[in-house]
């Protein structure tokens, strides 16, 4: 056991930092640093820059065209990217459907989709939850009926993130309504340009549009777009969710968030002195920083176990729980630091990138929307109540 990085690992960190500095567009970096929202093109420019280096799919093994990073390299890569204010990698293609495709799909689908995911040329989105099926995902009802060499898909999906920017969607659909809930589900890839698909925005608590409801009205999908076997979709979905829970801890982002919070607490005044000198408040920040440290070392232990060949299992659920709570706590303390200047709501500045000056400092107008929006982290990807259920069952045997 050794906590220190090897000379090779330190050299790798330098290599990553040099590449990020040379290839991350400055305007994108500045937007991330100041907490502004990114456009589709902003994401694409960065992802394709990583794609050119083969690092966009940094979690993939070599045999599927990934870089085959060790856990230490992954950790270094994620941290350096966050420190350099690179945007988070959109996970739908790279971390979600990609591994499902290379693990379970036909050679035809692998050849068709893996290269464009590696290069960051296609935008993927996820079709899992439905209005009636959230925590109880296996009750989903979107129907895919086999007709000759096509499936005809009818139904709706919700909480679809950034589907309005997507080229493709991966969907859980019901192919056998007579089978047990989990056994009648299949995993289908659908081109978003297919006739019969409607994307309807859902306005969020902060007034923004990032998620959608997606309607399928007699959408014809070639049967060759089925991943693996019909009726096996639930197995693939669980595989995907386990992967999703791993990245969801967002340790590097939270480390950056704590530093940003400290900067705000240094800039804000309290009785004529920097707020960070207020004992009560600085101890709250210290407590948060320690929570992040505990999370980071838990994630390192999981990564280390994975390097020994263990699949990410129930321990990863714990990461999601704490990671999401910590993300929320950061926004809570940031809001507290900003105080009454969090009140002004400037949607033009927030969402349309207008040039109007913020009221107060720039970080102030983001504080409340972030706090409100980040409530989603304990809900999405399997709510924390569901995650705790998994741990109590799978780990504690209750």
Partner 1 sequence: MDLSYSDEQKALQEGVERFVREKYVFDTRRKIAASERGWLPDNWAQFAELGWLGMSFSEDDGGLGGGALETSILMEQFGKGLVLEPFLPTVVLGGGLLAAGGSAAQKQALLAPMIEGKKQFALAWLERQSRYNLADVSLKATKEGAGWSLSGHKGVVYNAASADTIFVLARTSGGARDEKGLTLFAVDGKAKGLSRRDYPTQDSLRASELTLDKVSVGADAVVGAVDGAFPLVEGTVDRAIVALCAEAVGCMDAINAATLEYIKTRKQFGVPIGKFQVLQHRMVDCFTNAQEARSMALMAALKIDDADATVRAKAASGAKVQIGKSGKFCGQSAVQMHGGMGVTDELSVSHYFKRLTMIDLMFGNQQHHLTRYSNLAMAA
Catalytic positions, please? 244
Residue 68 CA to residue 18 CA, distance in Å, equals 20
**216 in Cβ contact with 130 (< 8 Å):** no
SS3 84: coil
Residue 334 CA to residue 338 CA, distance in Å, equals 6
- Shortest Å distance, C-beta 220 to partner 1: 29
Q: What is the DSSP letter of 133?
A: B
Which pairs with CB-CB distance under 8 Å and at least 24 residues apart come from 45-54?
46/86, 46/87, 47/89, 47/90, 47/120, 48/119, 48/120, 48/121, 49/23, 49/24, 49/25, 50/23, 50/89, 50/120, 51/118, 51/119, 51/120, 51/121, 52/23, 52/119, 53/19, 53/23, 54/118
Q: At 337, give phi and psi (nearest 5°).
A: -65, -35
**19 in Cβ contact with 56 (< 8 Å):** no
- Shortest Å distance, C-beta 135 to partner 1: 5
Radius of gyration over every alpha carbon of the chain, rounded to an integer in angstroms? 22
- Shortest Å distance, C-beta 383 to partner 1: 6
Tokens of 201: 């925005």
Tokens of 164: 């309005």
Q: What is the DSSP letter of 193?
A: T
- Shortest Å distance, C-beta 356 to partner 1: 10
- Shortest Å distance, C-beta 158 to partner 1: 7
- Shortest Å distance, C-beta 280 to partner 1: 6
**224 in Cβ contact with 106 (< 8 Å):** yes
Nearer CB in complex with partner 1: 7/280: 280
Name the strand (E) or helix (H) holding 100.
Answer: helix 98-104
* Residue ranges binding partner 1 (CB under 8 A): 129, 132-136, 139, 158-159, 202-205, 207, 211, 268-272, 275, 280-281, 335-336, 339-346, 359-360, 368-369, 371-373, 375-376, 378-380, 383-385, 388
Nearer CB in complex with partner 1: 130/230: 130
Nearer CB in complex with partner 1: 148/272: 272
Residue 271 CA to residue 279 CA, distance in Å, equals 13
Nearer CB in complex with partner 1: 297/345: 345
The residues that bridge with 127 in the sheet, in sequence order, are 171
Cβ-Cβ contacts under 8 Å for 108 (sequence gap 6 or more): 224
Nearer CB in complex with partner 1: 250/364: 364
Nearer CB in complex with partner 1: 111/139: 139
Tokens of 365: 């107008």
- Shortest Å distance, C-beta 187 to partner 1: 22
**327 in Cβ contact with 253 (< 8 Å):** yes
């Amino acid at each position: 056991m050794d906590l220190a990085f090897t000379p090779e690992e330190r050299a790798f960190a330098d290599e990553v930092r040099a590449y990020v500095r040379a290839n991350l567009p400055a305007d994108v970096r500045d937007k991330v640093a100041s907490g502004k929202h990114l456009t589709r093109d902003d994401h694409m420019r960065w992802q394709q820059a990583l794609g050119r280096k083969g690092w966009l799919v940094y979690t993939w093994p070599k045999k599927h065209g990934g870089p085959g990073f060790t856990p230490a390299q992954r950790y270094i890569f994620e941290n350096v990217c966050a420190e350099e204010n690179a945007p988070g990698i959109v996970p739908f293609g790279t971390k979600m459907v990609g591994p499902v495709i290379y693990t379970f799909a036909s050679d035809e689908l692998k050849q068709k989709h893996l290269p464009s995911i590696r290069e960051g040329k296609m935008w993927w989105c996820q079709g899992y939850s439905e209005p009636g099926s959230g925590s109880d995902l296996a009750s989903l009802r979107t129907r895919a009926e086999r007709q000759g060499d096509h499936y005809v898909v009818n139904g709706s999906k919700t909480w679809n993130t950034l589907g309005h920017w997507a080229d493709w969607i991966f969907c859980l659909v019901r192919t056998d309504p007579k089978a047990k809930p989990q056994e009648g589900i299949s995993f289908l890839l659908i081109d978003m340009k297919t006739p019969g698909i409607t994307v309807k925005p859902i306005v969020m608590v902060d007034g923004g549009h990032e998620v959608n409801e997606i309607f399928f009205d007699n959408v014809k999908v070639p049967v060759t777009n089925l991943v693996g076997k019909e009726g096996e979709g639930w197995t693939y979905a669980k595989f995907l969710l386990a992967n999703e829970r791993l990245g969801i801890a967002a340790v590097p982002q939270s480390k950056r968030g704590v530093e940003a919070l400290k900067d705000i607490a240094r800039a804000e005044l309290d009785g004529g002195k920097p707020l960070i000198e207020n004992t009560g408040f600085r101890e709250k920040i210290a407590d948060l920083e320690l929570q992040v440290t505990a999370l980071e070392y838990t994630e390192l232990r999981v990564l280390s176990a994975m390097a020994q060949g263990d699949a990410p299992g129930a321990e990863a659920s714990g990461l999601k729980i704490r990671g999401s709570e910590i993300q929320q706590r950061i926004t809570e303390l940031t809001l507290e630091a900003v105080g009454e200047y969090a009140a002004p709501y400037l949607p033009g500045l927030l969402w349309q990138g207008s040039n109007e000056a913020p009221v107060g400092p720039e970080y102030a107008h983001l504080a409340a929307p972030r706090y409100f929006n980040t409530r989603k982290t304990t809900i999405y990807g399997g709510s924390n109540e569901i995650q705790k259920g998994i741990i109590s069952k799978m780990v504690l045997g209750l």
